[in-house]
Amino acid sequence: MDRTTRNGHTGLTRRSFLLKAGCGLTGSALLSGFGLSSASRMLAQATRPTIDLLPTPDFSRGQVLRYVAGIRPYREKSIRLELERIDGRVLVHNYGHGGGGITMAPGCAEEVVMMLVAAGIEPTDVAVLGGGINGMTCAHDLLQRGHRVTVYSDKLTPHTTSDIAGGQFGPSFIRFGESDEDMARAEGMMIASYRRYLRLLGDEWGVYERDNYGVGAPRGSLSRLPYGLLPPVKRFDRLPFQGDPRPGYAYRTLLITPPIYLPRLLKEIRSLGGRTVRRKFSSMRSVMKLREKVIVNCLGLGAGKVMDDPTVIPFRGQLVHLKPQDLPYLLVSHGYIFPRPDAVVLGGTMERGVTRTRPDKATCEKILKRSRSFFLPSETGQDSE
């Protein structure tokens, strides 16, 4: 089991420093920066708290494993999660998850199953299109409901976009629609996903609890999670990291490790009797040639072309993978840092309309520099999520 899950932060390789030591400034330089009188400076020095700093990643060249690029399957206005009937077949769409597909997959799969139940579909032969996290999670849940499932896909793990995801639990860069009903549905799916992942905590599935730190006031995908789903947010006058003293916050969330989770899910599908077939679909016509009368469409970015849906838009993200390091936190500032068992993932870029999966060296070097600058004040970097 993961050490952080078992121990929280105690017992790990954390280091205690006086505040002045941690930020690399002398006491007087630090305090004069805050404009204190000499009397209050003395008082402050006497009562200065000790803080525990979390370990700083090793960003040195020798730690770089690889540069990676993946394409988020974003859909304008909303993910598509609906059932339609075409020529005597039932077609359920489940695509357009942008930067939140790992987060949403279990909740979306439960919706797909419920849509089939509501449509009166008894256990039958089902074709699932796409072998990313959404296709595989749907396949798994349908098998559990007694359906006979074949996953048709041109690629499987480890070659899908889902394999590239950072794996933080958070509905980032994904749309659910505008109405209160849409949001209530999305929140229901997030709750279902969170509960599912909590049941899978540990090394077998690569799902872990982690504190996610950010600078300033809470923002980003945290504000889109249902209120009360996660434990209360903790506030810090000074975040426990080397570097400039910055106020911030942390919340306990989940980290799903795609290179562990996805092969484990595929193994589960096969053990439940699910089949996988390599196939590439060029159009709706090629989909309609399948023998199955019930089809679940989880083609991700591919759905744009196959379903002729112009609202599916690629957003490229680039990542730097460092060798695994014992860092018991997530950090979203200056891009993001997600330490996982297989790699420390540095990321946070967004390029609309770019579909090249070959990473760009200059951008990846910038990601590395930006991440390092959070800890090393002499280097510059920008906040972003």
Ligand X SMILES: Cc1cc2nc3c(=O)[nH]c(=O)nc-3n(C[C@H](O)[C@H](O)[C@H](O)COP(=O)(O)OP(=O)(O)OC[C@H]3O[C@@H](n4cnc5c(N)ncnc54)[C@H](O)[C@@H]3O)c2cc1C
Contacts with ligand X, residue ranges (CB under 6 A): 70-73, 95, 97-103, 130-135, 153-155, 160-162, 164-168, 279-281, 298-302, 306, 317, 319, 347
Q: Which is nearer to ligand X, 23 or 205 (CB)?
A: 205
Could you tell me if 161 and 291 are in contact, meaning their C-beta atoms sit under 8 angstroms apart? no
What is the smallest separation between the CB atom of 254 and ligand X, expressed in angstroms?
A: 10
Q: Which is nearer to ligand X, 97 or 334 (CB)?
A: 97
What is the smallest separation between the CB atom of 251 and ligand X, expressed in angstroms?
A: 15
Q: Which is nearer to ligand X, 31 or 321 (CB)?
A: 321
What is the smallest separation between the CB atom of 45 and ligand X, expressed in angstroms?
A: 42
Q: Which is nearer to ligand X, 193 or 242 (CB)?
A: 193
User: DSSP for 62-117?
Assistant: GGEEEEEEEEEEEESSB-EEEEEEETTEEEEEEE-BTT-HHHHHHHHHHHHHHHHH
What is the smallest separation between the CB atom of 356 and ligand X, expressed in angstroms?
A: 12
Bridge partners (DSSP) listed for residue 72: 315
Dump strand ranges (E) for the chain.
15-18, 50-53, 64-75, 80-86, 89-95, 125-129, 148-153, 207-215, 234-236, 248-256, 275-278, 294-297, 312-322, 330-332, 336-339, 344-347, 351-352
Closest CA to 100 of 71, 72, 135, 59: 72
What is the smallest separation between the CB atom of 6 and ligand X, expressed in angstroms?
A: 23
Q: Which is nearer to ligand X, 20 or 279 (CB)?
A: 279
**Looking at the chain, how many residues does it have?**
385
What is the smallest separation between the CB atom of 282 and ligand X, expressed in angstroms?
A: 7
Q: Which is nearer to ligand X, 121 or 320 (CB)?
A: 320
Question: Residue 307, SS3?
Answer: coil
Neighbours of 310 (CB within 10 A): 8
Q: Which pair of tokens denotes residue 121?
A: 């579909």
What is the smallest separation between the CB atom of 345 and ligand X, expressed in angstroms?
A: 8
Q: Which is nearer to ligand X, 23 or 190 (CB)?
A: 190
What is the smallest separation between the CB atom of 10 and ligand X, expressed in angstroms?
A: 27
Q: Which is nearer to ligand X, 102 or 149 (CB)?
A: 102
Alpha carbons 129 and 265: distance in angstroms, whole number: 16
What is the smallest separation between the CB atom of 120 and ligand X, expressed in angstroms?
A: 26
**Tokens 């909303």 appear where?**
78
Q: Which is nearer to ligand X, 106 or 248 (CB)?
A: 106
What is the smallest separation between the CB atom of 136 and ligand X, expressed in angstroms?
A: 7
Cα-to-chain-centroid distance, residue 289: 35
Alpha carbons 356 and 69: distance in angstroms, whole number: 8
Q: Which is nearer to ligand X, 96 or 243 (CB)?
A: 96
Alpha carbons 296 and 30: distance in angstroms, whole number: 60
Question: Residue 258, SS3?
Answer: helix
Alpha carbons 127 and 132: distance in angstroms, whole number: 14
Phi and psi at residue 18, in whole multiples of 5°? -70, 150
**Tokens 């390091």 appear where?**
325
Could you tell me if 208 and 2 are in contact, meaning their C-beta atoms sit under 8 angstroms apart? yes
Cβ-count burial of 62 within 10 angstroms (0-12 exposed, 13-18 middle, 19+ buried)?
A: exposed
Q: Which residue is nearest to ligand X (CB)?
A: 302
